[in-house]
Chains A and B, each alone.
Chain A
């Protein structure tokens, strides 16, 4: 009771009530303190140290060269590094393909399982299930499917389709689509779940009214459903794009960035440089560049898509 009074009115200055009234004012800070401290220590500090190391020569295998490097690392990225541009290009291709296809399939899937039909509950559970599966497990499953001797291609060859011993993961012509399909397998449910959740809040009266006015299902989709989903789609594609850019576990375990560096994304290249090459300074500079590119693209995307704009 006393506390509710303290919240409702500004805390009185009297000494007797000081302890009680001070609590609500400090309370929010106490409540965010654990989260704030954890994020300061394990997100903010690492970010700052990455910026710091990007200006240093820092390589545990060549300690005699360690020290301030100025912008040398960055010059090296843009002028000497022969892997930077190809990995950046592959990252862009990867993110674009994944986000576009995941959105298209996820939207279609959400619209289907939003209908009322017999077996809806179990169908939802099954089509969403790969969402819960890890990148390493996805790799495991698709390695079994893509395996050249006992995988899917063997049974296709038995049936007279294709050749025996086809290995899609080691052929530069097929590896991109092989990796794409396996990432789609676990990525589509994310979009489907988010979009389905947002579909729950479309007012049914709108559809009834449109249908009374003679609008077909296609027009209803473009004039009611899509505008309603707009913000959710923009947010989901952005989050997913960032996630697909950053996430390395599937490609790391499925293709290892190969064959011949064909499927190495920028973060995978950074990880190799920093962890296997022990060149922390250069890896930090690459990280900084990746971070800036990501931030720039995100801002441009939000601007161009007019997120949170007119329709509400």
Chain B
């Protein structure tokens, strides 16, 4: 993906700037470069973008507004603020416990998915073996299998393993359904790392594993960040497995807790909004960190892999 970025820059720099008229003062170089062959009027960017931004951000704002304004207020400005709804869901509605459970599930799924997918992805990228084709086919086919429709048999399996009401059941189920895509993505990333780099390390006396850790792993960073954050975000968000496999209240996760708030006889909108903000904060933070890697990670491995 670094190659793509370099290529992009190179393609833009050469050539005199044709329409260098009135670039925005803040970044004259960039604007000039762009204008050289791409004359999109600014309003054609900012108007539709502004409309779409409103559609995206107003719902978030709405939730935030409901979470911080006192009960009974109809103000559209989040002032005066109150923390009452937050302390209510956090303490009385056990969101403290749900948050901890969701964190455990998310981090465990992240680690399990990344490790297992690294091993599988490396095998697919670097070896030819007999069942490789069949394995690839199984990965692709599993994309079509609805997790929701597997609930009943999965429930029976975890019951037999005595893992109902254990967070482990959700971690396993999440990991399994994350694996196919993760393996495909990671094998794409590994293929982009030239084998010669590894071979050079072998010649220097490294074992295969050592060479992998020293040479390949650092180059996989953007890809691993993308795959790992996928796994975390998905398991943080996933609802049905947790709903089905975890019936004890102190084992439940945030989405299940939110669903309980939604289903309450008289919905406490302030508490619901505060619960929503708590659910959103970790994924928004993860997303803010990864969103740049996401684009490069995808262009490197996913679609063309």
Chain A residues near B (Cβ < 8 Å): 1, 3-4, 24, 27-29, 31-32, 34-36, 38-39, 41-47, 49-50, 53, 105, 108-109, 112-113, 115-118, 121, 123-137, 139-145, 147, 150, 152, 154-155, 185, 193-194, 196-198, 200-201, 203-205, 207-208, 211, 217, 231-232, 235, 239, 242, 245-249, 252-253, 267, 270-271, 274-275, 280, 283-284, 287, 290-291, 294-295, 298
Contact = CB atoms under 8 A, between A and B. Distances in A.
Contacts of A211: 37
Given A46-B157, A134-B237, A287-B149, A140 B275 contact: yes
Contacts of B27: 118
A136 B176 contact: no
A39 B143 CA distance: 12
A246 B146 CA distance: 5
Given A34-B116, A126-B53, 19 more contacts: A27-B127, A28-B123, A32-B123, A41-B157, A46-B150, A108-B48, A121-B292, A134-B283, A140-B262, A141-B59, A144-B62, A152-B62, A185-B56, A198-B299, A235-B303, A253-B262, A274-B152, A290-B146, A290-B149
Contacts of B177: 43
A291 B152 CA distance: 15
Contact of A200 (B4, B60, B143, B273): B4
| 9 closest A-B pairs by CB | A134-B237, A246-B146, A197-B298, A46-B153, A4-B202, A31-B123, A204-B11, A28-B127, A35-B120
Contacts of B42: 117
A193 B153 CA distance: 34
Contacts of A248: 148, 240
A133 B11 CA distance: 36
A142, A200, A246, most chain B CB atoms within 10 A: A200
B45 interface: yes
A195 to B, nearest CB: 9
Interface SS of A by simple majority: helix
Interface residues of B, number: 111
A136 B255 contact: yes
B44 to A, nearest CB: 8
Interface string B280-305: 10011011100110111111001110
A281 B18 CA distance: 70
A129 B56 contact: yes
Nearest to B48: A112
B40 interface: yes
